[in-house]
Amino acid sequence: MGEASEGFRQLRCGFPLPNPPPYRGRGFCFLGSGMTLTDAIARLPKAELHIHIEGSLEPELMFALAKRNNVRLRYPDVEALRAAYAFTNLQDFLDLYYQGMSVLLTEADFYDLAMAYFRKVAGQNVRYVEFFFDPQGHTARGVAFETVINGLTRAQADAAAQFGIQSRMIMCILRHLDEADALRTLDQALPYKDKIAGIGLDSSEVGHPPSKFKRVFRRARDAGFLLVAHAGEEGPPSYVWEAIDVLGVDRVDHGNRSLEDPALVQRLAKDRMALTVCPLSNLRLCGVKRMEEHPLRRMLDAGLFVTLNSDDPAYFGGYMNENFAGVGSALSLSAAELRQIARNGFAASFMPEAEKAKALAAFDRGV
């Protein structure tokens, strides 16, 4: 597939990235008829299943909302904020992520946040999205649950009308908070079951195993929600086992460290348990030191059901196309492999079966 560009080879964990990243559109081999791999990726229809909507808050919008809401930020300008994106681990990022949330106060703020994301990915041929949101990060600041939901659902409707992007919401539980708070948040979600497709688990992983929230997830399952959980990003393989066997998840978010446990790898492959892998996130948070070390190739070789996603693209230097291009170039993935991964995004989605079959048929026809 050829070597990565010079700009891409310079990417290492913890380094702030310009936006767009320097490797974008450069350094790929040709696939015939003058088409580069970057062109092929741009044309691929995509489904994104691991995107924190608050993590799509670009610095420019953050400052605009801060001004609109009279919120004082720690950083004087966009450049200073971007310079702070030199994370060395998940907690470094989360500290800044929660600060960014402070500008989100009104229904219009949540609408503008989500529409900016949908507008961006519409230009990357993303057709379907399942996005996370973190209500506890807002209700703790006095923002009403209803305010969050109303802003996001209004954006979903407008994104469908304007860009043809269909989407579903997944409400995440912040695992660094206690189970009682999580149960109260689940109670708040119940009146909005028609708007929230699933319940997830995110935030600081180490020291907060999935089993901490087994009662929450049991109640969520009984209420009819689909279930996902972040596991095996920084936490050990045992967290992935717990997500599957204790929480009963339908999909695992990240799952990278599963490769340390051969029995777990065999189980994931046998059950065809989807993993929502986020390469640029792993690089920026130092889960890997260089993209060439990313475990995606080993996941594919082990027969795991993997999808590619952007996680928190405003902070990690790239949306869907940049994640496909970055890991594809670094690991010499073929165009056929990248196409299969893109198809997996639709296959692993929570679309109803008839809708999923229609989306997969359109993908296979190249529509």
| Average predicted confidence (pLDDT) for the chain | 91
Look at residue 166 and tell me whether its pLDDT is greater than 90. Answer: yes
Q: Which among 145, 136, 148, 75 has a CA at the least distance from the CA of 109?
A: 148
Per-residue pLDDT averaged across 57-69, rounded? 96
CA distances from 235 to 9, 79, 200, 287 (A): 28, 32, 16, 11
Query: Catalytic residue at 233?
Result: yes
Amino acid code (one letter) for 252: V
Determine the pLDDT at residue 37: 78
What are the backbone dihedrals phi and psi of residue 312, each rounded to the nearest 5 degrees, phi first?
A: -130, 75
Report the C-alpha gap between 36 and 30 in whole angstroms: 4
Question: Please, what is the Cα angle at 94 between 321 and 205, to 5 degrees?
Answer: 95
Rounded CA Rg of the chain: 19
In percent, the amount of the chain with pLDDT more than 90 equals 84
Domains of the chain listed by start with CATH number: 29-347 (3.20.20.140)
Determine the pLDDT at residue 13: 76
Tokens read off for 21: 């990243």
Q: Could you tell me the pTM of the whole model?
A: 0.92
Determine the pLDDT at residue 366: 86
Tell me which of 205, 233, 234, 322 is the catalytic residue. 233
Q: Which among 285, 319, 277 has a CA at the least distance from the CA of 53?
A: 319
Give the pLDDT confidence of 263-321 residue by residue, as tens digits.
Answer: 999 999 999 999 999 999 999 999 999 999 999 999 999 999 999 999 999 999 999 99
Report the C-alpha gap between 151 and 114 in whole angstroms: 8
